[in-house]
């Protein structure tokens, strides 16, 4: 799953370092699984004085859901989350190995490869650009030079190839929402370079102004929300500065150095506006120089905003700076993996079952295998594919077609699912729903010692019918605690926007996102197969399947009847 915090986002940013034990793709074996067919329950013998009761109708949803087993989930995950796959970094060897494994499994199950014009009909290839920062980055303010990765650094897919004069525009906290806008007084900022404060306005008692019930908002937790807003406004770059006295920029920069040095990726054919503005991060000392001010003046400014409860005009006069931060670019090809099961009488309508199969690769020589994130979702899709194909082979295939979609580039910004929805294999208007599975193999701290649960996000955002189907299937079959807390539009984690379902939701296709929450090994080297809780994972996978089975076989297509945040 895509990272949220500033620190964590940089940790996830990407380049493979030293190699680990390798396994050539051609040596990967996909084993055919053997399962006992679930038998229909025997009819109960009637009492002697009564006519024999009719045999109970077989519940085929349960029959095929029970083919999703802990053993089979473990079998696939042990391969995909092994060191041989090198953490499945987008565009790297391990990710390509994973794509081949999944494609082979889809083929083995008898799914169709629906990709036209591809060398492999199960692979939807697309071209990306891998960018790394070149040597020789410089920043000068008032003739004083500052050091890259000591006084400033940057993230993003673009930069300044030559030394460039920049006149920053102070944009306060860089926030725009109902009742609060730092941009209202700035006018058009298209093509400009903004200087924005990290954090969010607070009262003199340290209570966040813009969050729900005094809690922090998305603006304070995730700098990317500010960067996205600046990009929407057309800004060329953003210089972020954290004046919090408890922050230690030099320590942070030293810790971030190996991660900032990893490449970022973007679409080769990205149109203007699709690529985010470059984000620079500068030390407080550089920030004061850029604003032409002092710590006391900044403190006075932030206090005045907190007291007013709205943006206050700053009296700062930002200094012109000279900056150079060039990027080295390299094209590469990556791929989504797609398997298609044609339906019967409603085959033109599509149910999508998605997960991302990429992870963050090798960092500082350690393989980050991503067993939970999102090996767990990927093997859930593989097991659901087997359950549906088994049903079809036995004459009980779904009425609607089912598209099994495993995507790459999620950790780089939901890129694979964005590519699919921008270049759909089947028309989006015929796509009824996306059920997305991202991290379903562990337990978060809020549910330790409690019963079975799963977070469900987004199921009621666009379709009340989808939400009801989910509730009904859980009540009938799995009886888990369905935790909807992250549906709250004010939740600062913003999980609704952070996995691949969101690219379907943007096109007003109903979605549901199944998730176990974050844990201490999230995006760390400890996210390993031995820590997966397979009984919980099996139950969650079956819930997704039950929901998909209902959606694929119901008489009427679910409708879009809401538009919640």
pLDDT value at residue 27: 34
If 0-12 CB within 10 Å is exposed, 13-18 middle and 19+ buried, where does residue 466 land?
buried
Give per-residue pLDDT as tens, 83-130: 999 999 999 999 999 999 999 999 999 999 999 999 999 999 999 999
DSSP H or E segment with residue 237: strand 237-241
Query: Six-digit token pair at 224?
Result: 């990317």
pLDDT value at residue 3: 59
Would you give per-residue pLDDT tens digits along the chain (565 residues)?
Answer: 765 544 443 444 333 333 333 333 333 333 333 344 333 344 334 444 444 555 678 999 999 999 999 999 999 999 999 999 999 999 999 999 999 999 999 999 999 999 999 999 999 999 999 999 999 999 999 989 999 999 999 988 789 999 999 999 999 999 999 999 999 999 999 999 999 999 999 998 889 999 887 788 889 877 889 999 999 999 999 999 999 888 899 998 888 887 788 888 889 887 655 677 899 999 999 999 999 999 999 999 999 999 999 999 999 999 999 999 999 999 999 999 999 999 999 999 999 999 999 999 999 899 999 999 999 999 999 999 999 999 999 999 999 999 999 999 999 999 999 999 999 999 999 999 999 999 999 999 999 999 999 999 999 999 999 999 999 999 999 999 999 999 998 888 889 999 999 999 999 999 999 999 999 999 999 999 999 999 999 999 999 999 999 999 999 999 999 988 8
Could you give the CA distance from residue 266 to residue 270 in angstroms, rounded to a whole number?
Answer: 7
For residue 240, the cross-strand partners are 196, 281
Sheet holding 237-241, edge to edge: 152-155, 278-282, 237-241, 193-197, 169-170
Over 62-109, what HEC string results? HHHHCCCCHHHHHHHHHHHCCHHHHHHECCCHHHHHHHHHHHHHHHHH
Q: Where are the beta strands (DSSP E) in 148-205?
A: 152-155, 160-166, 169-170, 176-177, 180-181, 193-197
Q: 444-453: which pairs have CB atoms within 8 A and are 24 or more residues apart?
A: 444/516, 444/517, 444/518, 444/519, 445/517, 445/519, 446/517, 447/481, 447/483, 447/517, 450/481, 451/480, 451/481, 452/478, 452/479, 452/480, 452/481, 452/536, 452/539, 453/480, 453/481, 453/482, 453/483
Could you give the CA distance from residue 525 to residue 493 in angstroms, rounded to a whole number?
Answer: 22
Q: Which domains does the chain have, with CATH numbers?
A: 52-128+332-553 (3.40.630.10), 135-325 (3.50.30.30)
**276: which residues sit within 8 A by CB, 6+ positions away?**
156, 157, 227, 228, 231
CA 104 vs. chain centroid, Å, equals 25
pLDDT value at residue 45: 40
Strands 169-170 and 193-197: parallel
Tell which residue, 387, 423, 407, has the closest CA to residue 545: 387
Give per-residue pLDDT as tens, 360-406: 999 989 999 999 999 999 999 999 999 999 999 999 999 999 999 99
pTM given for the model: 0.83
Could you give the CA distance from residue 377 to residue 357 in angstroms, rounded to a whole number?
Answer: 8
If 0-12 CB within 10 Å is exposed, 13-18 middle and 19+ buried, where does residue 248 land?
middle
Tell which residue, 234, 221, 139, 245, has the closest CA to residue 173: 221
pLDDT value at residue 410: 97
**189: which residues sit within 8 A by CB, 6+ positions away?**
169, 171, 183, 230, 233, 234, 235
pLDDT value at residue 11: 40
pLDDT value at residue 177: 94
For residue 237, the cross-strand partners are 193, 278
pLDDT value at residue 34: 38
Q: Are 462 and 508 in contact (CB under 8 A)?
A: yes
Q: Are 63 and 36 in contact (CB under 8 A)?
A: no
**264: which residues sit within 8 A by CB, 6+ positions away?**
13, 14, 130, 131, 132, 155, 156, 157, 412
Q: Are 104 and 96 in contact (CB under 8 A)?
A: no
């Amino acid at each position: 799953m895509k990272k949220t915090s500033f620190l964590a986002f940089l940790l996830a940013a990407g380049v493979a370092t030293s190699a680990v034990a390798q396994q050539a793709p051609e040596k990967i074996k996909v084993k055919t699984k053997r399962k006992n067919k679930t038998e229909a329950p025997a009819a109960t013998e009637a009492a002697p004085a009564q006519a024999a009761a009719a045999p109970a109708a077989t519940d085929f949803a349960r029959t095929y859901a029970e083919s999703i087993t802990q053993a089979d989930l473990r079998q696939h995950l042990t391969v995909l989350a092994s060191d041989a796959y090198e953490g499945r970094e987008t565009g790297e060897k391990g990710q390509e190995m994973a794509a081949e494994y999944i494609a082979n499994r889809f083929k083995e199950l008898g799914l169709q490869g629906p990709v036209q014009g591809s060398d492999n009909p199960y692979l939807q290839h697309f071209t990306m650009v891998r960018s790394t920062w070149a040597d020789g980055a410089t920043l000068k303010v008032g003739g004083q030079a500052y050091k890259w990765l000591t006084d400033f650094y940057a993230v993003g897919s673009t930069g300044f190839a030559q030394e460039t004069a920049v006149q920053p525009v102070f944009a306060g906290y860089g926030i725009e929402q109902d009742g609060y806008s730092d941009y209202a007084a700035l006018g058009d900022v298209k093509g400009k370079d903004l200087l924005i404060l990290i954090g969010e306005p607070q009262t003199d008692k340290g209570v966040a102004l813009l969050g729900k019930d005094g809690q922090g908002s998305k603006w304070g937790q995730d700098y990317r929300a500010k960067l996205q807003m600046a990009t929407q406004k057309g800004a060329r770059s953003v210089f972020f500065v954290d004046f919090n006295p408890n922050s230690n920029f030099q320590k942070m920069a030293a810790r971030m150095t190996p991660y900032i040095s990893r490449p970022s990726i973007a679409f080769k054919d990205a149109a203007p506006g699709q690529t985010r503005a470059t984000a620079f991060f500068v030390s407080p000392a550089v920030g004061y120089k850029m604003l032409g001010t002092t710590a006391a003046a900044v403190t006075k400014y932030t206090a005045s905003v907190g007291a007013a409860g709205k943006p206050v005009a700053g009296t700062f006069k930002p200094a012109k700076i000279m900056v150079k931060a060039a990027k080295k670019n390299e094209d590469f090809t990556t791929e989504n993996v797609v398997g298609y099961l044609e339906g019967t009488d409603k085959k033109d309508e599509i149910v999508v079952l998605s997960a991302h199969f990429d992870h963050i690769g090798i960092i500082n020589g350690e393989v980050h295998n991503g067993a939970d994130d999102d090996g767990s979702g990927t093997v859930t899709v593989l097991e659901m594919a087997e359950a549906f194909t088994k049903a079809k082979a036995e004459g009980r295939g779904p009425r609607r077609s089912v598209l099994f979609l495993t995507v790459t580039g999620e950790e780089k910004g939901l890129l694979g699912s964005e590519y699919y929805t921008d270049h759909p294999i089947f028309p989006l208007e015929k796509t009824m729903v996306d059920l997305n599975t991202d991290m379903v193999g562990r337990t978060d701290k809020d549910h330790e010692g409690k019963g079975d649960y799963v977070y469900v996000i987004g199921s009621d955002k666009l379709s009340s019918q989808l939400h009801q189907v989910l509730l009904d299937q859980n009540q009938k079959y799995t009886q888990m605690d369905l935790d909807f807390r992250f549906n709250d539009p004010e939740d600062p984690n913003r999980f609704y926007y952070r996995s691949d379902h969101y690219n379907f939701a943007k096109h007003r296709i109903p979605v549901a996102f199944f998730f176990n929450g974050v844990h201490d090994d999230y995006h760390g080297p400890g996210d390993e197969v031995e820590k997966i809780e397979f009984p919980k994972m099996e139950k969650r996978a079956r819930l997704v399947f039950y929901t998909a089975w209902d959606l694929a076989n119901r008489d009427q297509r679910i409708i879009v009847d809401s538009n919640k945040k």
